[in-house]
Structure 1
Amino acid sequence: MTETPNELMRATYTALCKRGYASLRMQDIADESSKSKATLHYHYESKRELLSAFLDYLYDGFAERLDDLDGERPVDRLLALVDVVLTPRDEDTHRGFQTALLEIKAQGPYDDQFREQLLRFDRLLHDRFESLLEAGQRDGDVRAEVDPDETADFFVTAVNGAQTRYVSVGHPVERARDSLTDYVTRQLLTDAATDRVVSE
């Protein structure tokens, strides 16, 4: 991606945090960048096309974050993944951006392209949880009776629910993060793995 689209993606993020999805205008995005509204329309014909590109931009960044999880063992990276998806990266903009993202998600039932892009996020997160659980079983850290696919599905639902609850009623995502972390250590791990994780 060249510098101009990168700048426009950053400007889109800032404008979404300030204005949300519904009231966002192309001019708002231009105002957050060094580019004119005409330049935006040169690259993207409409707000919908720009936001579709923005979702792809977010996806690429999210995938990079999931590829860079800390931890030597799969279980350590599993706990790091819970931490990553439920820890605000920027306290000043987190709620505004999550609110705008929820507005975009609400378009999913009516917009096939948005729905498919949002589904990519779900699949990516599910598959990463599932692969870490499977690797943890191979290492002997995750209990053999745990179903990685079903458990990964539960995690994705819990993460999405925590983010929606945070936006809707202000419930802190940290509570969900702590609960999921406890669920992993107390319910999914073998006794030996639990002792190791808790003692670290």
Structure 2
Amino acid sequence: MTTGDEIVDATFTALYEHGYADLTMAAIGEEFDKSTSLIHYHFDSKEDLLATCLETILDDFLDDLEDDPDADPADRLLRLAELVVGGTGDNGVDEFHTALLELRAQAPYDEALREQLARNDAVWREHIADIVRDGIEQGRFREVDPEHFAALFRSAIEGAQSHNVILGEDAPCEEAIAGIEELLIRELLVEDERTGDAAA
């Protein structure tokens, strides 16, 4: 792990522990094992650091996804939804997701965060649209507008994730995943697949 990665990890921990309002470079330094001066060496400002955190989120999540382009497209969409809504760890939503929600909440007031979130969102929507295109080409999905579906699907899974973070154990996580699978993913399937009467 590089020093930059260690600083990003320390930032997420500090954000979870203190919240955005009380997040300072000093608070981040308390979670960083090395000299605080290294933080200032690698990042010009807290805003620069937080934008990098958002970029790291995207890269790490795509690595965790381990998406197989040869896998069934419906399964790929479902796995993506499960990881976004429930998290990648054994305990589901964790401090990482809470910290992410803190950053999203600040985006309307912070141009750098908003711009990075917009870049992340564009990558996610294109990734989802690519899966839909693959499904259409394979004859598994009916003809739909991939970009329109991607925007809807992205909004659904991100909303369910936020709901999960905010409400914790009271969030209808399983119901959300079931609804996403039944009302979004299965509705993409060609008619024979949806009714369970796929042609041989």
**TM-score clears 0.5:** yes
Change (3 A) 1:135 1:46: same
The number of residues matched between the two structures is 194
- Structure 2: tracts of 5 or more residues without a match: none
Partners in 2 of 1:97 and 1:22 — Cα distance?
17
Query: Are 1:187 and 2:171 matched, yes or no?
Result: no
SS state at 1:35 partner: coil
Written as runs of structure 1 = structure 2, the 5 A alignment for 1:24-103 is 24-66=23-65, 68-70=66-68, 72-90=71-89, 94-103=93-102
Contact 2:48 2:112 in 1 (8 A): no
Name the amino acid aligned to 1:168.
I
Partners in 1 of 2:46 and 2:186 — Cα distance?
46
Change (3 A) 1:172 1:81: same
Question: 1:119 Cα shift?
Answer: 0.7
CA displacement 1:173-199 (0-9 Å, x = unmatched): 3332221112245322124434399xx
Change (3 A) 1:185 1:59: closer
Contact 1:21 1:101 in 2 (8 A): no
Tell me whether 6-15 or 71-80 shows the greater mean CA deviation: 71-80
Query: Are 1:143 and 2:142 matched, yes or no?
Result: yes
Question: 1:26 Cα shift?
Answer: 1.9
- Which TM-score applies when normalising by structure 2? 0.82
Question: 1:142 Cα shift?
Answer: 0.8
SS state at 1:159 partner: helix
User: What is the aligned partner in structure 1 of residue 111 from structure 2?
Assistant: 112
User: What is the aligned partner in structure 2 of residue 6 from structure 1?
Assistant: 5
User: What is the aligned partner in structure 1 of residue 176 from structure 2?
Assistant: 176
Question: 1:87 Cα shift?
Answer: 2.2
Partners in 1 of 2:11 and 2:73 — Cα distance?
35
Contact 2:15 2:23 in 1 (8 A): yes
Partners in 1 of 2:35 and 2:92 — Cα distance?
24
User: What is the aligned partner in structure 2 of residue 18 from structure 1?
Assistant: 17
Name the amino acid aligned to 1:177.
I
Tell me whether 77-86 or 163-172 shows the greater mean CA deviation: 163-172
Change (3 A) 1:185 1:94: closer
Change (3 A) 1:126 1:16: same
Question: 1:172 Cα shift?
Answer: 4.0
- Which TM-score applies when normalising by structure 1? 0.82
- Structure 1: tracts of 5 or more residues without a match: none
CA RMSD of aligned residues (A): 2.5
SS state at 2:71 partner: coil
CA displacement 1:48-91 (0-9 Å, x = unmatched): 2221221222222233345x225623232222222222222236
Partners in 2 of 1:39 and 1:118 — Cα distance?
26
CA displacement 1:7-57 (0-9 Å, x = unmatched): 112222222232222222222222222112222122223322221221222
